[in-house]
Chain A
């Protein structure tokens, strides 16, 4: 009989070692899957995990890791605060889209001005767009007690329709002879979010992600708000009696995560994506939820999780292109990695005992 016994305090050794165990297990299971698909498992694993960081073209892919990880981290940091407080914003994807639309629209309203004010204005508009979109579930929750998981989720679909409408109609590039999609912001210096240091992939979104992580880390450990968030999540009743203003907490957590998601959208549309298009939304908002949990809702952990997730995307694409692996195998592989990471987490909180025990 195998049973689990709760550790008095989470094991530090296992907390550090469990992600490595999970990655190793994923390599074994994923390797089996790749072999079953008739591909060389060792080459596939190397292409996914090694080549983007140390391979022949690592000078290009290291930058791309940052490009891919930055929006994930930026969104996940915001979400994690809410999750800790038991406030479930599942609709970051919608806030990301609305942030991008608002930011791009604010900029394009002044096209073709070359004023230096345009980009800062776009940043503000993007943050505000995400914030306001997140305020809808927040205020409905406070006023009517509606469930924020569902409202924020439904608003993702509304945002997607808004995006299609923007790309096809009101933000459409007038020079593109009827084709959908806005002007390319990357070609308009005043509105673009370029690579700051050549070859690093680092754009303003990466800077923002770093700032957000530092800010979140300080707030969670040193500030009263961080304490209130942790208290509200761990012991909601105690928090209420302890004078935590629940309404303020809901506004803060949803607003902050919406704002960060909006910012991520803005940096993406002005930088790597370049334009508002029908397919602009690429699922960052949903993936960031997973990143937040993989990082154990801890800002520094989220950085590591975001980079790992980015690695499986970038490396997975390389494996798909170079080895002819079906795209579906890569998402299944990512799913496996997540399962293993979640599963081995048990080791840091519990001790595995073998022997007779009370059946739970």
Chain B
């Protein structure tokens, strides 16, 4: 009933005209952001992708965006509003928009929807996309294995969700390959965004002898905490997250995992312009240019840098998968046999640590 009235309304206003029919008008591209563009991390990188779309297509596209849209009821309204406003394709850039994206997609069958990091595609006009950040974690994990002297590396997690657990496992597995004595310390911040808490979490790690910090939260606070420790005689290394965090080069930040959404956004908007858009579930990584390792600085030993670059090349060429057996689960039960590669289904729902990581995933 709600659906039909809305449909009738949309029809009456001529909004469901197929995109191809008005090919002379610019294609309107909408973005729904979960944080402010000024977060310097997740949303900032998505907005960089939006700007890349504008740069690529010029007059052929018009982009609109809305920042800081809370997940839930407000998201549905914001997406509907964009669809009513004539958007041809809408990117909803946070996991929590899944239900809302599909609900709006049902009402606007001619608008394309792209939902980031989710799994729900209930209508033919909804695609999902995500990036294989764990590929980047394999590289930073390798570097961490070379860099640590205390044999303690730390991981600041946001919430215990599959993406973060993939990251913890990938980092640990590759650090351990280099340094069999390495120990992984995990701290859950239980927030996506609280710079003060992230700073305190990093300090707690440093105080307890962690000398390489990997973060899955977006602020530069842990970098600054490491820098402060180094200024006072410490030896702590960090990696940029989401964005390059280049201001902390060459140390403590020795490399970074950058989310580059530009290739994907350009490709998908291009598909709408050509009229070739089709539903898909995209999970790109280094080969697609969606996960990029920022400059590895000279603070890293040459040997480590070479190993990291070799791994980047192997992953990019599709020759190496970071989750290649033999790998056991935390309790010692076999997960992957020798040479076996993890399937995407298990990865996407990963809810266990691999063997060697102590502690429990909160639940």
Contact = CB atoms under 8 A, between A and B. Distances in A.
Interface of A: 56-57, 59-60, 64, 67, 161, 164-165, 168-170, 176-181, 184, 186, 194-195, 198-199, 268, 271-275, 277-280, 282, 314, 317-318, 320-322, 324, 326-328
B71 A184 contact: no
B70 A198 contact: no
B78 A279 contact: no
A184 B96 CA distance: 12
B84 interface: yes
18 contacts: A57-B81, A165-B362, A177-B348, A178-B165, A178-B348, A178-B349, A178-B350, A178-B351, A179-B119, A180-B159, A181-B96, A280-B72, A320-B66, A321-B64, A321-B65, A321-B85, A324-B65, A327-B68
A178 B161 contact: yes
A321 B81 contact: yes
A68 B30 CA distance: 23
A164 B159 contact: yes
Contacts of A275: 72, 99
A180 B161 contact: yes
A317 B6 CA distance: 20
A199 B2 contact: yes
Contacts of B1: 195, 198
Contact of A168 (B37, B82, B160): B160
Interface string B60-103: 00001111111111101110111011000000000110010001
Nearest to B74: A282
Given A198-B1, A324-B64, A324-B65, 13 more contacts: A67-B77, A168-B161, A179-B119, A181-B96, A186-B103, A198-B2, A198-B4, A199-B2, A199-B5, A273-B72, A275-B72, A320-B66, A327-B68
Sorted nearest first, the 3 A-B pairs with minimum C-beta distance are: A272-B73, A177-B349, A273-B72
A161 B78 CA distance: 27
A277 B94 CA distance: 13
A271 B99 CA distance: 12
Given A168-B161, A180-B159, A322-B64, A60 B80 contact: yes
A321 B84 CA distance: 11
B61 to A, nearest CB: 15
Given A282-B70, A321-B82, A327-B36, A168 B96 contact: no
Contacts of A178: 161-162, 165, 348-351
A177 B2 contact: no
A203 to B, nearest CB: 10
Residues of A contacting B: mostly = loop
A8 B4 CA distance: 57
A177 B84 CA distance: 32
A57 B159 contact: no
B71 A168 contact: no
Given A161-B190, A199-B5, A317-B77, A177 B119 contact: yes
Contact of A179 (B65, B73, B82, B162): B162
Contact of A279 (B70, B76, B85, B160): B70
Contacts of A56: 13
A144 B138 CA distance: 55
A112 B7 CA distance: 30
A277 B75 CA distance: 13
B73 A273 contact: yes
Contacts of A282: 70, 72-74
Contacts of A328: 36
Contacts, number: 118
A333 B69 CA distance: 17
A168 B85 contact: no
Interface residues of B, number: 48
Contact of B66 (A176, A314, A321): A321
A186 to B, nearest CB: 8
A279 B72 contact: yes
Given A164-B159, A318-B81, A327 B67 contact: yes
Contacts of B64: 321-322, 324
B232 interface: no
Nearest to A313: B74
Question: Which one of B13, B67, B69, B81 has the greatest number of beta carbons of chain A within 10 Å?
Answer: B81
Contact of A322 (B68, B73, B85, B351): B85
Given A59-B9, A273-B72, A317-B66, A177 B99 contact: no
A60 B9 contact: yes
A285 B281 CA distance: 38
B363 A272 contact: no
B190 A279 contact: no
B257 to A, nearest CB: 21
Contacts of B82: 321
A198 B95 contact: no
Contacts of B103: 186
Nearest to B1: A198
Interface string B325-346: 0000000000000000000010
B2 A317 contact: no
A186 B103 CA distance: 10
Contacts of A317: 66, 69, 74, 77-78, 81
Contact of A278 (B37, B66, B96): B96
Given A278-B159, A317-B78, A317-B81, A268 B348 contact: no
Given A60-B84, A164-B190, A321-B81, A277 B159 contact: no
A261 to B, nearest CB: 16
Contacts of B66: 317, 320-321, 327
Contacts of B81: 57, 317-318, 321
A179 B161 contact: yes
Nearest to B346: A177
Contacts of A320: 66-67
A169 B363 contact: yes
B291 to A, nearest CB: 20
Contact of B362 (A169, A194, A279): A169
A218 to B, nearest CB: 30
Contacts of A179: 95, 118-119, 161-162, 349
A56 B14 CA distance: 12
A194 B103 CA distance: 13
Interface in B1-21: 1-2, 4-6, 9, 13
